[in-house]
Structure 1
């Protein structure tokens, strides 16, 4: 059974291939960028551990500067495999966190996001996909990926649910900072 409750101290945010050349190719670029930036800010405000992958950075470039800014010290791992779990350095990094809940966002939903999520589940992790913070070149591939990710056992969620689940007590200074991100 899926666990629908995120625990801050057991959560890692994983930014998959948030690179400008890929961002510019997704059909839902505006929605994706808005929510990727919000989740990056949430991670920064709340001190949630973050990892990022870059698909073939020599050709596709570095992580988008706006998304990276709030999490400047993010552990960024270059890869050429579509599943990050096929990269030894990534596997060592994700297991080294000691955390089991992975919030996965990025590009493309039907390739690198889906294959990484599938392999994370196979390795015993709980995977949460904020559907408004993943992107694909076509709407069909995006919708198909969300369906498959759900069938695999991922929790399909959204940016605001992640924000408030990780910060579920109103009135604190952290809550106020996180709440201010909703526009």
Structure 2
């Protein structure tokens, strides 16, 4: 670690992911997404190992859940995007994506939250937009965020870029993220590696203090 005035500049992975100032974010690990990733078994194995290690170290763990807005509170651009995603030509035909209470909206059982984990409902592809997440991090004195979950090229990438721009040490757990698109997943990891840290679960665990 180096000091610049009162600023602490972490140099090693061990310093960066010290559980005292690190949070693991499990992004949208809901049934409707987990069941459609291109590498479900591999993803689940890595995500479970990361969760177990984070909890064993005392690290804070937060889950996000896609929580749809009623159409009257959605922007026209958002409605248009959903129409393209669901291949409909009339907004009235749009299904409710991840409807609260539906099976697809529930967090995948093998990755379910534990008692001390926090579940954050959100409406956009960035954890920082429309939530009090930044305030929560500051209150808990969090300096580092590790991102895992689905989809790599959508919410994980958007949130990781925002985290870096807001001044947090940011790590994307490459094999604990996934997508329905292998190409999208791999392209996002390549792009992210130029602006944040992209590390395997093994490398994160190896450097985690217990």
Tell me if 1:84 matches 2:165. no
**How many Å separate the matches in 1 of 2:32 and 2:132?**
24
The structure with the largest alpha-carbon Rg is 2
Q: 8 Å contact 2:55–2:61 — kept in the other structure?
A: no
- Secondary structure of the residue that 2:112 maps to in structure 1? helix
Aligned structure 1 segments of 4 or more residues deviating by more than 3 angstroms: 1-4
Unmatched 5+ residue regions in structure 1?
168-173, 175-183
Higher helix share: 1
Which one of the candidate residues 16, 29, 32 is aligned to 2:43? 32
Paired positions, count: 166
Q: 1:1-183 maps to which residues of 2 (within 5 A)? A: 3-5=11-13, 6-56=17-67, 58=100, 60-69=104-113, 71-151=114-194, 153-167=195-209
User: 1:40–1:68: 8 Å Cα contact kept in structure 2?
Assistant: no
Q: Distance in 1 between matches of 2:154 and 2:10?
A: 22
Measure, in 2, the Cα distance between the counterparts of 1:17 and 1:8. 22
The answer as to whether partners of 2:27 and 2:156 remain within 8 angstroms in 1 is yes
Partner of 2:79: none
| Contact map agreement 2:19 2:60 (CA 8 A) in 1 | no
Contact kept, 8 Å, 1:2 with 1:155, in 2: the verdict is no
Deviations 1:131-177, CA, capped at 9 Å, x for gaps: 100001111101111011112x211101111111013xxxxxx5xxx
CA contact (8 A) 2:64 2:121 kept: yes
Bigger drift between 48-57 and 115-124 goes to: 48-57
